[in-house]
């Protein structure tokens, strides 16, 4: 397997955690999202992923984009360490939480969105940061309320799930942009517990070979 990603990409971060939890090896192929105008826009990478985003997983003849689809593929092919609960209702609750992050929070702070804000829309750096913090706060406020009903050591009880794989990279981003996390004690506690696990530590952005 090959995983094309960027060290600080939240979506690639999710997949790295999943690979580590499942004990799977993948060749990491760096795609620098800034250098040379963004290597994701290169002709070669567009052949692999026309969306010009990371990550992309190659496994034999398969080329698969979208982090949650990649994680589901790993789950289906390597179910020995499950990332979803067996109970159907709980499984879909975990998926809904993951999608709250992957679909509603993360895209608004994605690099290409931020570049558009400060490029064609000519927002200042301060306005960009205000945008980031606003949407993070909106999303985290909702997640904190959900966790009040579901959290144990992790987002859903005592076992790591896809919800945690999505939450940790998003909190990492929030801390990068200095979001005040005092309003989110459950999120913060789960973030700390997950980062005590080797699978999360190895997946951390700063631990990647392409980190700068």
Residue 58 DSSP SS3? strand
Contact 146, 95 (CB under 8 A): no
- Mean pLDDT, residues 19-30: 97
Among residues 114, 195, 185, which one has the least CA distance to residue 160? 195
Instruction: Give the separation between CA 146 and CA 141, rounded to whole angstroms.
Output: 9
Digit-coded pLDDT (tens) for 92-124 = 999 999 999 999 999 999 999 999 999 999 999
- How would residue 49 be classed by pLDDT, with cut points 50, 70 and 90? very high
| pTM for this predicted structure | 0.97
Confidence check: pLDDT of 212 > 90: no
Q: Is the pLDDT of residue 1 over 90?
A: yes
Tokens of 27: 């060749």
Q: Given the structure tokens 């290597």, which residue do they identify?
A: 39
CA distance 143 to 137: 10
145 Cβ contact partners less than 8 Å away, ≥ 6 residues apart: none
Express as a percent the part of the chain with pLDDT over 90. 100
CA distance 113 to 134: 14
158, pLDDT greater than 90? yes
Instruction: Output DSSP code: residue 209.
Output: T
| Whole-number percent of the chain with pLDDT over 70 | 100
Q: Are 28 and 38 in contact (CB under 8 A)?
A: no
User: What is the Cα–Cα distance from 156 to 150, expressed in whole angstroms?
Assistant: 5
Beta-sheet pairing, 2-5 with 27-30:
parallel
DSSP H helices in 41-161: 43-48, 67-77, 88-99, 111-118, 125-150
| DSSP string for 120-134 | TT---HHHHHHHHHH
């Amino acid at each position: 397997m090959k995983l094309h990603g960027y060290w600080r990409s939240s979506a690639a971060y999710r997949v790295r955690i999943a690979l580590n939890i499942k004990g799977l090896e993948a060749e990491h192929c760096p795609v620098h999202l800034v250098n040379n105008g963004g290597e994701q826009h290169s002709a070669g990478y567009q052949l692999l992923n026309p969306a010009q985003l990371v990550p992309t997983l190659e496994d034999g003849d398969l080329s698969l984009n979208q982090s949650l689809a990649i994680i589901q593929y790993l789950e289906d092919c390597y179910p020995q360490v499950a990332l979803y609960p067996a109970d159907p209702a709980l499984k879909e609750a975990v998926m809904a939480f993951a999608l709250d992050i992957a679909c509603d929070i993360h895209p608004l702070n994605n690099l290409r969105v931020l570049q558009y804000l400060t490029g064609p829309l000519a927002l200042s750096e301060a306005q960009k940061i205000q945008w980031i913090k606003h949407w993070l706060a909106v999303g985290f406020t909702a997640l904190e309320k959900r966790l009040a009903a579901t959290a144990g050591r992790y987002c859903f009880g005592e076992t790591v799930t896809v919800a945690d794989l999505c939450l940790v990279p998003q909190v990492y981003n929030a801390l990068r942009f200095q979001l005040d996390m005092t309003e989110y004690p459950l999120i913060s506690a789960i973030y700390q517990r997950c980062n005590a696990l080797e699978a999360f530590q190895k997946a951390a952005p700063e631990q990647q070979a392409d980190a700068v």
